[in-house]
Amino acid sequence: MRDEILIVGQGLAGSLLAWHLLRQGMAVRIVDASGDNASRTAAGLVTPMTGRRWVKTPAFETYLAEAHCCYQALERQFGRRFWVERPRLRLYLNPAEREQARRRRQDPAYAPFLGEEIETVGNGLKAPHGGIWLHRTAHLETETLLDCLQRWLRQQGILHQQHFDPRMLESGTQVVFCEGWRVIHNPWFDWLPWQPSRGQILTVTATPPLPAFPCQRGIWLQPREEGRWRIGASYRWQPLTETVRADETAALLGRLQDCFETPPEVEVLKVRAGIRPNTLDHHPIVGRHPRHPRVALCNGLGSKGSLLAPRVTRLLAEHLCHDAPLPPEIDLRRYHARLPH
């Protein structure tokens, strides 16, 4: 009988890792204390370029192709739609940003992702500097997917709602920690360079209605069903709490109003806060503990979990099952020198 692998955490990373391991014929058990995690708060947005400098995610094409295949396989398994590919309009905040985008369009590595540039938008959006359509963008219905995976894993007798204390790890247990930001409190991996950040997302209705297409202007607007939109996201280093803060809600609403020539009337239906498991070099940290090879980690996907998780978890599953090498940019071994003596 093959060893059972214990996965701690049923967020997107833990769920997809279990899915890949089961497809490899491994025995799996998952423990999760609450079932509520940053993956459920996350917007699930996938975009090739981020930040004011319009920097493309490394190996974006590779990650996107695998995400597409993985989520389509899950759609076939559950008979639900999770993965929605749709262009996104990014409005320029200033002339410098417009010039940066135009320079990127001349770069063959960026050109496939930058579509038509527009001078006027309509929909009441402020666009004094114009904007541009981004291609190969998508969003993942993260919460719907996690609900489906949760039910399926419970039906298999794999998922157990319970707290797991990493200090009480039994000798011989093979475990993978997929705890998100809570890894900063895990004594096995608290020495790694974590840089968690807090974010808040709103679900709103508005009069007049907000645009029916995904767009961003400093913040992002994502149309939802039944005349609702998700708005996000705030970004703070402190306090590291998942408690909703009124000041962050007010700041997001102010930035939303500033996106329009005539501010819409907005009703806030839901506010959710979460903590992103960021890392120092903005890459995931995946692999075995340098001194305890039966203890492994899958973390650090930051705000790009929907894009990165399918490939990262598959690579880790192959590493655990067949000792396949991990790409150096995500391999935990790049930080071995930081391990306290």
Residue 147 lies in a domain: yes
Q: What are the structure tokens assigned to 198, written together? A: 């807090």
Model confidence pLDDT, tens digit, residues 2-58: 689 999 999 999 999 999 999 999 999 999 987 566 678 888 999 999 888 899 999
Contacts of 191 (CB under 8 A, 6+ apart): 338, 339, 340
Selection from 258, 271, 269 nearest residue 219 by Cα:
258
φ, ψ of residue 32 to 5 degrees: the values are -150, 130
Q: What's the mean pLDDT in 79-106?
A: 96
CA angle 26, 28, 33 (to 5 degrees): 165
Same domain, 205 and 261: yes
CB 332 within 8 A of CB 188: no
Counting the structural domains of the chain, the total is 3
pLDDT mean over 315-332 = 98
Tokens 């938008």 found at: 121
pLDDT band at 304 (very low <50, low <70, confident <90, very high): very high
Is-cis flag, bond preceding 239, omega within 30? yes
Q: Is the pLDDT of residue 189 over 80?
A: yes
pLDDT of 39: 75
Question: Using one digit for the tens of pLDDT, what is the confidence trace for 114-126?
Answer: 999 999 888 899 9
| Mean pLDDT taken over the chain | 94
Predicted local distance difference test score (pLDDT) of residue 228: 96
Tell whether 151 and 300 lie within a shared domain.
yes
Final residue belonging to a domain, choices 276, 302, 325:
276
Split at pLDDT 50, 70, 90, the class of 318 is very high
Confidence (pLDDT) at 172: 78
* 300 Cβ contact partners less than 8 Å away, ≥ 6 residues apart: 194, 277, 278, 279, 283, 284, 285, 286
Amino acid 243 reads T
323: left (phi over 0), alpha (psi -120 to 50) or beta: left
Average pLDDT over residues 239-247: 92
271: domain CATH number? Answer: 3.30.9.10
| DSSP per-residue letters across 85-104 | E--EEEE-SSHHHHHHHHHH
Asked if residue 18 lies in contact with residue 11, where contact means CB atoms within 8 angstroms, the answer is: no
- Output the pLDDT for position 323: 96
Confidence of residue 171 (pLDDT cuts 50, 70, 90): confident
Q: Are residues 295 and 178 both part of a single domain?
A: yes
Same-domain pairing of 184 and 286: yes
If you search the block for the tokens 């491994």, which residue do you land on? 26
Is 203 in the same domain as 239? yes
Whether 124 and 265 map to the same domain: the answer is no
Q: Are residues 111 and 258 in the same domain?
A: no
Mean pLDDT of 237-255: 94
Residue 36 lies in a domain: yes
254 and 294 belong to one structural domain: no
Residues 113 and 259 in one domain: no
251 and 271 assigned to the same domain? yes
**Has residue 257 been placed in a domain?**
yes
What's phi and psi for 226, nearest 5 deg?
60, 40
CA distance 63 to 55: 16
**Cβ 5 vs Cβ 172: under 8 Å:** no
Confirm whether 56 is domain-assigned. Answer: no
Q: Are 110 and 135 in contact (CB under 8 A)?
A: no
Same domain, 201 and 239: yes
Q: Residue 125: inside a domain, yes or no?
A: yes
Residue 256 lies in a domain: yes
User: If you average pLDDT over residues 99-113, what whole number do you get?
Assistant: 96
Read off the CATH number of the domain in which 325 is found. Answer: 3.50.50.60
Does residue 226 lie within any of the structural domains?
yes
DSSP 148-201: HHHHHHHHTT-EEE----GGGPPTT-EEEE--GGGGGG-TTTTTS-B--EEEEE
Residue 205's domain spans which residues?
197-276
**How high is the pLDDT of residue 36?**
62
Q: Is residue 60 part of a domain?
A: no
Spatial CB neighbours of 238, under 8 Å, sequence gap ≥ 6:
198
The alpha helices in the chain, defined as continuous H runs, are: 12-23, 38-41, 60-78, 95-105, 142-155, 246-257, 305-322
**How confident is the model at residue 1, as a pLDDT?**
41
Which tens digits make up the pLDDT trace of 265-299?
Answer: 999 999 999 999 999 999 999 999 999 999 999 99
Same domain for 265 and 286, yes or no, is no
